[in-house]
Amino acid sequence: MSTGHAPDIDRLIQLLGKLPGLGPRSARRAVLHLIKKRDPLLVPLAEALATVRDRVRTCSVCGNADTVDPCSLCADPRRATGTLCVVEDVADLWALDRSDLFTGRYHVLGGTLSALDGIGPDDLSIAPLVDRVRREAIEEVILALNATVDGQTTAHYVTERLASTGVRVTALAHGLPVGGELDYLDDGTLAAALQARKSL
């Protein structure tokens, strides 16, 4: 089947179609849009994408994705030490941080325990979390995990692993809708959940 355009354009359509939220048809429209808006959009987007490709890395302290290591959050002297907010994912870290409700430091687990997907404790950043709690003299660990079965299982497991450090472990209150994901919450619900956090 002819496509009416060169393989280079076709390849861009195929790759863009792999992004969440874009299918083959919307990817084609996006590419046509890019070609029409060459200077205001295509050129800067290619530049921004190359910059992120060249510079993005995982923070060796907390696991955030950033262009510097330690990341801008870990390096920010205005952020409170002593409290760690543990999240499943970089997306959750960004969601929480956009809400401006938490001013401490973060720790990204990199997923949740899942027997189904074969994800065990060693696949997550749990041992580094325990080290960090000891090394940084953390007083409170807030578990901001998704209110899913895997999220809550992981919360229990992390709590057990942290028991030997004597740190206070809290979790977001069940203001979270059951089965919901943190990244989709509005700030009001996030605020309520953070406010009503409880000791485990």
Interface with a second copy by CB under 8 A: which range of 52-60, 141-149, 154-162, 191-199? 52-60
The string over 77-114, giving b where at least 16 C-beta atoms fall within 10 Å of a residue's C-beta and e elsewhere, is eeeeeebbbbbbbbebbebbbebeebebbbbbbbebbb
> What would the x/- binding string for a second copy be over residues 6 to 35, using CB under 8 A?
x-xx-xx--xx-xxxxx---x-xxxxxxxx
Residue 152, burial from CB neighbour count under 10 angstroms (0-12, 13-18, 19+): middle
* Residue 179 structure tokens: 């089965």
Within residues 93-132, the interface with a second copy by CB under 8 A covers: 93-94, 96-98, 100, 106
Contact pick of 123, 139, 181, 183 for a second copy (by CB under 8 A) = 183
Q: Does 46 bind a second copy (CB under 8 A)?
A: yes
Residue closest to 190 by CA, chosen among 132, 142, 152, 129: 142
By CB under 8 A, name the binding residues for a second copy.
1-6, 8-9, 11-12, 15-16, 18-22, 26, 28-35, 38, 41-46, 48-53, 55-56, 64-68, 71-73, 89-91, 93-94, 96-98, 100, 106, 183
